[in-house]
Amino acid sequence: MRIFDYIDDDPLVQITISNPRNKIEKRTLAYADTGSTVLAIPKDIWDYLGLEYTESTMVGTVHGLDWAWIDWVDVEFIDNFELVPVILSKDPEVILGRFILDKFVVTFDGRTKKLKVED
C-alpha cells in the first residue's frame, strides 16, 4: 500500500506522462479524481508533450458538455505504466481519472488528509 499526504488539503499524487510517439515526458502532480473518467491535462503540458490536435470528442465536465481534443499517452503511477486516453482541459490542473484509479483500491481519508492506494 502507498500512502500520500494531501497537499494543501487536496488529494494530489505524483505521475509521469509521456507521449508514446516522441518519448517526451513530464513529471507532475495530479488530482486523484474518481469523478473523472480520463486523464485531463492543461494546454501547456499538452504542447510540451507534442500531443496532436487531430481528434476531438464530446466530454462532460464540471462546466457541462463541451468538445475537447483527445490523444493517447503513457502514464506512470506507482510503478505501473498504462496507455490511456488524455483530453486537453481548459482548467490548469492535471486530473487523474478512473482509467488509472480503477486499477487500484483507493481510499480518501479526509480525517487524516491521506490518500491510500493498494495494488
Residue 93 has pLDDT above 90, yes or no: yes
Q: What is the pLDDT of residue 64?
A: 84
Q: 28-32, 63-67, 73-77, 94-98: which range is least confident on average?
A: 63-67
Percent of the chain with pLDDT over 70: 100
Instruction: Render pLDDT for 11-55 as a digit per residue (tens, 0 to 9).
Output: 999 999 999 999 999 999 999 999 999 999 999 999 999 999 999
Provide the mean pLDDT of the chain: 94
Q: Which three cell numbers stand for residue 28?
A: 507532475
Residue 62 has pLDDT above 90, yes or no: no
Percent of the chain with pLDDT over 90: 85
Q: Do 103 and 51 contact (CB within 8 A), yes or no? A: no
How many other C-beta atoms can be found within 10 angstroms of the C-beta atom of residue 3? 12
DSSP string, 38-107: SEEEEHHHHHHHT--SS-EEEEEETTEEEEEEEEEEEEEETTEEEEEEEEEESSSS-EE-HHHHTTSEEE
Q: What is the pLDDT of residue 86?
A: 97
Residue 63 has pLDDT above 80, yes or no: no
Q: Which three cell numbers stand for residue 95?
A: 486530473
Q: What is the pLDDT of residue 49?
A: 99
In the chain the domains, ranked by start, together with CATH numbers, are 2-118 (2.40.70.10)
